[in-house]
Amino acid sequence: MTTVGSVIYTFIEVPDEHDVARRQATVYYWADGSRMVSVGDVNRQSVTLDQIPKSVQHAVIAAENESFYTDFGISLMGIGRAVVNIFKGGETQGGSTITQQYVKNTYLSQDQTVTRKVKELFLSLKISKQRSKAEILQGYLNTSWFGRDSYGIQAAAQAYYGIPAKELNPSQGALLAALLKGADTLEPSLSPAHHRRAVERWSWILDREVETGVMSAAERAKYTVFPEPKEPVKPTSQAGQIGYLVDIANKYLRSHSSLTDQELASGGFRVYTTFEKDKVTALANAVEKVRSDSLDPEAREADRHVEVGAASVRPKDGAIVAVYGGEDAVKRFSNNADTSGVPAGSAFKPFVYAAALDRSANGGPVVLADTVDGSGVPALVKSLVDSENIPFVEAGAEIGLEKVRDTAVASGLRKESMARLEPTFAIGTSTPSAVRLASAYTTFVNSGTRTEPYSVTKVEWDGVALAGFDRPRAQRVMDAKVATEVGWALQQVGSASLAPTRDQWFGRPVWAGRTGVNDRMKSAWFIGATQELSTSVTMFRTRPDIPQLLPMNGVGGEESERGSVFPPRIWTDYQLAVAPTSLDRVPSVSVPAPAASAPAATAGP
């Protein structure tokens, strides 16, 4: 050790351990500033090393630090890489010993700075000399983050398998050891990609145990089936819609900052959201009314396993003001409002029409001038209102499915939710979330401009506002004439879908898209947008043990058009509940019909 290093080593003192009990929870607030929920009280239960199976200890050491029992508590090569990465602006994870990770968990912050790394180095050397390997390993296993709001192996065993740590078998222990690399990317219940990575890491750890001599090949051969953890359980404070709102806010936090789930769970944040309590309540009430009035799971098999997802977005700025993620976030973890997997069907067709108009206006060979009965109403508009499929399949083929896809993505649908570019692509095989469809329809309301949907307006930690949460800016994504032309068509869909008296009562045009009797998808959709709110509602059937969606035939009775009559009812009840308090603030604007003497394809660039 150099002279400077010796001086630092001599004078650096081992600080007090973090007082986990004093960590504050993260608090989420409604749009009006009132408190919504407090989340992230630290879930940590310490156990002694003799209560942690040897197989779990072996899995952790094989995965994280093979030389744990023989090293001096540090990895100079790992620290060197981390320091270089810090100066390059990259990640610092990787290469740390178990002792270093224990020191970081127990004595230091999670900051990725050179100063913190230097402290970690010298504290690890001191701790390694002052404490036994057993004490260090015990401390590490009791302070590490495993995801699911759990710190320590005991809390993790309960969170993932519902058992105390002492009952973990070698296969389960290998999965929990895998999570130490990063629960943010390896928690298997979060997505198919997470699950795939978790399986790969779990298998690799078992193989590593054989390579390092702590497990025989014969025993390894017993563990060929991935030890699926139980479904995540949210605390009761997140019951109803609260857990889904927190889920959406956390996704936004992670995508707009460097915050991790671990950092959020460690607490102390103040998160101000766009969610409006009255609208969240009204949306949930509208769903439950349709459920109670129209569905009878005891009498009809088709009414069982019915799920609903919905989202309401403000067109003027993209704020997500309400979602319905499912019956209860404590009972059903998957968020139906923000989950890709439900085909959009005819609700996707406006993007085909927009692509056709744009292609024709810019000299493409698409023929859209055909009208019905000489009325001047373009054929695709009638097909849109009537949910006819063949004209859109033909239009998609003529335009080019890449053009259709690009138009939909530009409007706000995620590229990863787009289906394969096959002929049926144009009739809605893609699976956008309810949030994304509600947002994308604002493009037509706003004459071709849209704002990226957002759910968080401000985040504070220790009284200081974090960067990265400026409100998104509107951007033009579609020619104004094209958007207006499609908007007029969507108003025809709205008039045909909603009772005339209610349409008049709203006093505003309604831009609408929906699935109908001709849709053959296993889903029902309605998207209704006014100048103030764009709200999408989807209904589908699913069971956890069956990967594919269940058929919608007969849901709610024989006359339900495969359930397609229900999303408009939910939308209408919701709109009736929230519109009286807001319509007076928004001037009425109607979109004129295309001139009968000019074909719809004449929209200019």
Q: Which H or E element spans position 55?
A: helix 54-64
Q: Determine the pLDDT at residue 364.
A: 56
Average pLDDT value for residue range 179-205: 91
Indicate the CATH number for domain 43-220: 1.10.3810.10
Written as six digits, the tokens of 32 are 């009006």
pLDDT for res 79: 56
Compute the average pLDDT of residues 54-80. Answer: 82
CB 322 within 8 A of CB 280: yes
Q: In the structure, what pLDDT confidence band is assigned to residue 506 with cuts at 50, 70 and 90?
A: low
Model pLDDT, residue 56: 96
- Please write the tens of the pLDDT for every residue from 13-59: 555 555 443 456 788 999 999 999 988 655 667 889 999 999 999 99
* CA dihedral for 527, 530, 535, 537, sign (positive or negative): negative
Kindly give, in sequence order, each residue whose CB lies less than 8 Å from that of residue 167, ignoring residues fewer than 6 positions away: 157
| Pick from 54-58, 183-187, 412-416, 442-446: least confident | 183-187
Answer with the residue of higher pLDDT: 112 or 361: 361
When mean pLDDT is compared across 12-26, 315-329, 584-598, the lowest value belongs to 584-598
Q: Which residues pair with 272 in a beta bridge?
A: 29, 458
Pair 322, 244: CB distance under 8 Å: no
pTM: 0.76
Say which range, 96-110, 247-261, 264-278, 563-577, has the weakest mean pLDDT: 96-110
**Is 80 exceeded by the pLDDT of residue 229?**
yes
Question: pLDDT-based confidence at 117, cuts 50/70/90?
Answer: low
Q: Is the pLDDT of residue 494 over 60?
A: yes
The segment with the largest mean pLDDT, out of 343-357, 377-391, 504-518, is 343-357
pLDDT of 392 > 60? The answer is yes
Question: In whole angstroms, what separates CA 472 from the centre of its chain?
Answer: 18
Predicted confidence band of residue 454 (pLDDT cuts 50, 70, 90): very high
Average pLDDT for 454-481? 93
Average pLDDT over residues 125-142: 86
Say yes or no to pLDDT of 376 above 70: no
Q: What is the mean pLDDT of residues 565-589?
A: 75
Q: What is the mean pLDDT of residues 192-210?
A: 94
- Listed in sequence order, the residues at least 6 apart from 497 whose beta carbon sits closer than 8 Å to its beta carbon are 512, 514, 526, 528, 568
Burial state string for 202-228 with b = 16 or more CB within 10 A and e = fewer than 16: bbebbebbbeeebbeeeebeebeeebe
Q: Grade residue 372 by pLDDT with cuts at 50, 70 and 90.
A: very low
The mean pLDDT value of the chain amounts to: 83
Angle at 263 between CA 258 and CA 265, to 5 degrees: 140
pLDDT at 70: 85
- What was the pLDDT predicted at 71? 83
Question: Which DSSP symbol is given to 371?
Answer: B
Enter the tokens of residue 120. Answer: 């970690």
Q: CATH homologous superfamily for 282-454+472-599?
A: DD-peptidase/beta-lactamase superfamily (3.40.710.10)
- pLDDT at residue 482, rounded to an integer: 94
Residue type, 332: R
CB atoms within 10 A of CB 597: 6
Confidence of residue 472 (pLDDT cuts 50, 70, 90): very high
Flag the least confident range among 187-196, 364-373, 475-484, 503-512.
364-373
Q: With 90 as the cut, is the pLDDT of residue 5 above it?
A: no
Question: Residue 365 pLDDT more than 60?
Answer: no
Rounded mean pLDDT, 389-394: 92
Per DSSP, 580 falls in state G
Distance separating alpha carbons of residues 286 and 284, to the nearest angstrom: 5
Question: Above 50 in pLDDT, residue 322?
Answer: yes
Look at residue 569 and tell me whether its pLDDT is greater than 80. Answer: yes
**Pair 404, 426: CB distance under 8 Å:** yes
Q: Are 425 and 396 in contact (CB under 8 A)?
A: yes
* pLDDT at residue 115, rounded to an integer: 57
Distance separating alpha carbons of residues 366 and 514, to the nearest angstrom: 25
Of 291, 344, 216, nearest in space to 573 by CA: 291
Task: Assess whether pLDDT exceeds 90 at residue 380.
Answer: no
Domain ranges of the chain: 43-220, 282-454+472-599
Query: What is the pLDDT at residue 430?
Result: 97
Q: Flag whether pLDDT at 408 surpasses 70.
A: yes
Q: What is the average per-residue pLDDT within 114-122?
A: 64
Q: Provide the pLDDT confidence category of residue 513 given band limits of 50, 70 and 90.
A: very high
User: What's the pLDDT score for residue 86?
Assistant: 46
Q: How confident is the model at residue 205 (pLDDT cuts 50, 70, 90)?
A: very high
When mean pLDDT is compared over 177-191, 405-419, 536-550, the highest value belongs to: 405-419
At 8 the pLDDT is 44
